[in-house]
Amino acid sequence: MLVSVIVPVYKVERYLDECVASIVAQTYRNLEILLVDDGSPDDCPAICDDWAEKDDRIRVIHKPNGGLSDARNAGLTRATGDCIYFVDSDDTIAPNLVERAVATMREYDADLVMFQFDTISENDVPLVSDYRHNDFDTVMVMTPEEGIKAQVKAEIDGYFWSFLAAAPIYKDHGFSFPVGRKIEDMARICNVIGEARRIVRIPEVLYHYRLRKGSITSGWSPQLIKDWMKAADDREAYILDRYPDLKGFMRLQQLTFFANLDYETIRQSVTASLHIDPEDANELRRRIDRLRKDMDDSGDAVPESTDSLLDMLKDSVDDAVDDFKDNFKEIRDDWIRISRGWKEYMHDKETDRD
């Protein structure tokens, strides 16, 4: 079984050798390694060519800069493997990552294998992290529907380097990453999960995710927030088209997400000069109203405490746009009080199900 490893490369000359070395050193040897030089202005193009001279499994694609999605799409087009795996060029992978993923595929007759990851600093120092994605300690076998629900509930992260997938999941469904936008993983993760036959999650740390200042999503901006909303819309559109029975689940999850937004976070976003645009604020309010109406039309009940939190959120956005005036502390205190009641309600619901 040939595994294609796709590595988009841009302005990572400090980390690229370490990344490629970790791929070349895989205990599973039947690899096709595609280094996609996305018009990098530093020494990355030469570093890629040097690696291709050392290892005949490596092919280099030099292309004009088009962004991460464009680079991934270029690699995906050229990939010929039975399985596809993406690696970010400033990260590293465990020596047995591909071996363990392929072995798990064969053992469980799965076409999508997910694993855990840890975090490292720019200087390779291990960092403490607490991702819900890693919060399991036994092998989990899931249907596509179960995987989608877990992803929407943030129990599975959207990182494309956190799983290895059979190539037909991409090749047979016209898959491509959205070019010209960020948050591309969230926009397409459910397209992969939804086209799998069987998903297996293994409790093994096989990827080392580097947190650094220069990464694409290291800083928030108004445009990044808009890209996030587009990604959420893309994800929802795919799920509702492919799995229409999940419509009620999706509506409630979105309302729950908005209900959990912290008023303090909104305040800090404004004071940090992220500036909530009035048009964005209006769209947020309209989106909440649409979701509520969809829930009412479908006959699905929205918990009263969630409704209260949503009203508070809409009020808080209005106040943020108006520079918060004089009632920040009062609304924040109410927010905390109602949020506590909402969490108790959700805990009781889970207890009743058990």
Mean pLDDT by 10 residues, the chain (354 residues): 98 97 98 98 98 98 97 98 98 98 98 96 86 94 97 91 98 95 91 98 97 58 75 91 92 68 44 46 64 68 59 57 48 55 53 52
Characterise 331 by phi-psi region: left (phi > 0), alpha (psi -120 to 50), beta (else). Answer: alpha
| Phi-psi sector, 240: left (phi>0), alpha (psi -120 to 50), beta | alpha
What integer pLDDT is reported at residue 253 of this predicted model? 79
What is the pLDDT, as a whole number, of residue 164? Answer: 98
- The pLDDT of residue 269: 46
Which pLDDT value is given to residue 271?
40
pLDDT for 216 equals 47
Residues 125-157 as b or e (16 or more Cβ within 10 Å = b): eeeeeeeebbebeeebebebbebbbbbbeeebb
The pLDDT of residue 326 is: 46
Q: At what angle do helices 68-78 and 184-194 cross, to 10 degrees?
A: 30
Unique residue bearing structure tokens 């997938």:
165
Q: Tell me, what's the pLDDT at 324? A: 43
